[in-house]
Amino acid sequence: MSDEYKTIVGTAESKLVVKKSRFFGLATSIDTIEASKKFLTLLQEKYPNASHGCYAYSIGCGHEKREYATDAGEPRNSAGPPILAAVTASQLSNVICVVIRHYGGINLGIGGLIRAYGRCARECLGSAKIETQISYKTLQVRIPYEQIGSVLKLCNRLGGRVINIEYGQDATAHLQIRQREIENFQENLRGINSDIDVINSMTV
């Protein structure tokens, strides 16, 4: 299973004018729904007089992928789905693409809207600077003190990262493990000590 994915560096932009309606495409990398909301809030402040702010996002990879699109007041399926289609075609992950419209006084019709929103999104994503990222899962692991060294060596050997360690009755380590190494890591943990407890996890 691959745990590498491609996403956007910074913010990509595009502009399009169709029958006096102005469209502004903006796309950036996000890893949570909360991050998408923050990006949308920034755009609402930047474009306070926009007629519509339609968008789509894709977060996560594989069976954990979550996708969403909204027409944001435009006719049904005339804006959100074309933007999501552009996101899907780009093969990017953890990305949101927003298309802001300033109405120019001339109705474009359903077909015209689909073409305009889709083109603006494609041009925006096509102009983006792309980088390859690795998908990690953050594990919170409770470890007897005598096994701390062994667990940290295992984390390092599998390409993981140590976020921090809390010291109490036992040590609690917050570790980031590559998605493709999760099962291997957990099997090796049991080999070190069957009492080592993985408390919870989240994907990043």
Structural domain spans, the chain: 4-133, 136-203
Fold of 136-203: Alpha-Beta Plaits (3.30.70)
Instruction: Report the helix count and the strand count for the chain, using DSSP H and E.
Output: 5, 11
Within a 13 Å sphere around the CA of 16, how many CA atoms are in the beta-carbon half? 21
Quote the pTM value. Answer: 0.79
Superfamily of domain 4-133: Impact, N-terminal domain (3.30.230.30)
Alpha-carbon distance values, 66 to 36, 41, 53, 56 (Å): 12, 20, 20, 11
In terms of C-beta density within 10 A (0-12 exposed, 13-18 middle, 19 or more buried), how is residue 73 classed? exposed
Q: Are 161 and 155 in contact (CB under 8 A)?
A: yes
- What confidence tens digit (pLDDT) does each residue in 21-56 have? 999 999 999 989 999 999 999 999 999 999 999 999
Place 144 in a pLDDT band, splitting at 50, 70 and 90. Answer: confident
Q: Specify the length of the chain in residues.
A: 204
